[in-house]
Chain A
């Protein structure tokens, strides 16, 4: 048996890394178990001529396509939106677009303001210092002063507008609609040991330059220097409990596949909105027959993606294509509720700068706008390097039938039952998506785009995994309390996107990390009576 640790963190991604770093100053013995390994930037796709082809195989955003030993399979056949993630030190921050909006203050009060879903038990103000701390740690670029977003103070200037930004800006100005340079975790100047962005144009599947913040190069070096221990290629099977109903530690498979028990005084789960309920549901015992921390029956329920309604077209002018980070602008024009639109809540818009030649050829052929035969070359030259995209990132409201359960058949390489997703797009979300597509068409037409196509939803768009172990003050209606502790197991904490009560209409990683830092801070303030 391993020596006991004070704090055991499961998962080293966005939230696990932030919590590890924050708790390190307590000088407790902290161990993190990560099922993946350390990344090697010299092997990242943008270092090779075949960089685009890798998207369709070993660097796919889908774990089911990648099929690396570090990945676990996910049965998402019963969902129009497929789960995407990454499993390594840094988790899915290794493979994300680095788009960095925060949830708005109104997102925490949806019941009060709009009469739907539930209010969060915490508000935006409680998270403000942690948003700022996190922006500093992750290294954010952007332009302060967005009139429709919470005030941010990015430590680095925004990305260049490039060729695509002005085309979008002019179109939005023509329509009189809000737009603004995105906050991003792409370093626009040398920052804390990270080199500035050189526009590899290939942000999502990892940044060879190290300009994009992923927690393996932001939080983890600091946390490890402060004494946190990180063990890689260790996959946790289940959390065990003792006769007092407290978590006693975890069973995991080490890098050699050997089953181990790791005792711990405190267990923190940071496995994302699919991995966390999977682990809890796999942790059954006589005392917890329906899975750990599941007296409410809500573990795995209320899964929220952000359904993405994407529309794109092709302009006469050259766009940035693959020569820039894929996103650079956002709009909050339709973010807040306006019932005259026919739905409640709203969506953010993120704009896409373009695509590389292989992606363009494959996508356009699939859409039927790039022909086979003699006309292929002429049409391709009109499309390639001329794409602009508009994506409405729609707020998904919590519904219990959207859920993560355990697949009765599918298992990972260690024989651990895999997650199964059952998810449908709600009528409210569908109306919101239609609205987003209609407004997106107006934007593209204002930019002079033709050959307009849609992805509705983006099928491989399940980046944001939220709500499956929700936060709340009522143990019958939530899984963890207002500071992340399980209602049922008083030394068990959850810090990832599972605890989201609602999803907002923006990319959630900034807020996930702010919540994680907030929970860590709450723990530190209560160390003397953490289990009371």
Chain B
């Protein structure tokens, strides 16, 4: 399966940071973080073609590497890129989000345990079953056939 070329990788890193920048307030990296970028490239798999299409479209709009544009121009390009929408754009954004929201530092910041759901699972509170009392108090109303 073909991989992204260097220009595409550079633009992916730039747009990822525009989607999710680093935050000192929440103590989280941006989506341009090297570890998160490496995860994206490593797991792109079946999404490679659509992501490459999206990045090529972005490159055409920008006319040069996205990072080389001034901030105002970069924002305008991104606005136009998002407005065009489509499956390729949606796939690119989803790849950024799915890799970002499985990064250890990000999950820790969200208070999510760093583990797969299985085998530990989760514990649910039983809840207040007295809430059902008003429903139980009503007469049966199943429509007769």
**A-B contacts, CB under 8 A, total:** 165
Q: A191 near B: Cβ within 8 Å? A: no
A contacts with B: majority SS: loop
Q: How far is the CB of B19 from chain A (nearest CB, A)?
A: 5
Q: B145 near A: Cβ within 8 Å? A: yes
Residues of B with C-beta under 8 A to A377: 20, 23, 25-26, 28
- Please tell me the size bucket of the interface on A: 35 or more
Looking at A43-51, A131-139, A212-220, A275-283, the stretch in contact with chain B turns out to be: A43-51
Known: A165-B127, A169-B131. A200 touches B145 (CB 8 A): no
Beta-carbon contact of A106 and B145 below 8 Å:
yes
Interface residues of B in 50-94 (CB under 8 A from A): 78, 82, 90, 93-94
Q: A434 near B: Cβ within 8 Å? A: no
Beta-carbon contact of B102 and A162 below 8 Å:
no
A123 to B144, CA, bound (A): 12
Beta-carbon contact of A198 and B93 below 8 Å:
no
Beta-carbon contact of A147 and B129 below 8 Å:
no
Residues of A with C-beta under 8 A to B128: 161, 166, 169
Which single member of B26, B97, B102, B127 contacts A166 (CB below 8 Å)? B127
Which single member of B115, B134, B138, B145 contacts A123 (CB below 8 Å)? B145
B contacts with A: majority SS: loop
Known: A49-B102, A160-B126, A178-B135. A201 touches B140 (CB 8 A): no
Beta-carbon contact of A373 and B18 below 8 Å:
yes
Which single member of B94, B118, B125, B139 contacts A163 (CB below 8 Å)? B125
Residues of B with C-beta under 8 A to A173: 131, 134-135
Which single member of A48, A169, A208, A358 contacts B132 (CB below 8 Å)? A169
> Nearest chain-A residue to B107 (Cβ)?
A357
Known A148-B141, A149-B142, A373-B18; 11 more pairs at CB < 8 Å: A105-B142, A123-B145, A160-B124, A165-B127, A166-B128, A176-B134, A201-B122, A323-B122, A361-B98, A361-B101, A374-B23
15 CB contacts below 8 A, A to B, read: A47-B116, A47-B119, A105-B143, A106-B143, A147-B140, A160-B127, A161-B128, A198-B122, A199-B122, A200-B117, A320-B124, A361-B97, A373-B18, A373-B19, A377-B26
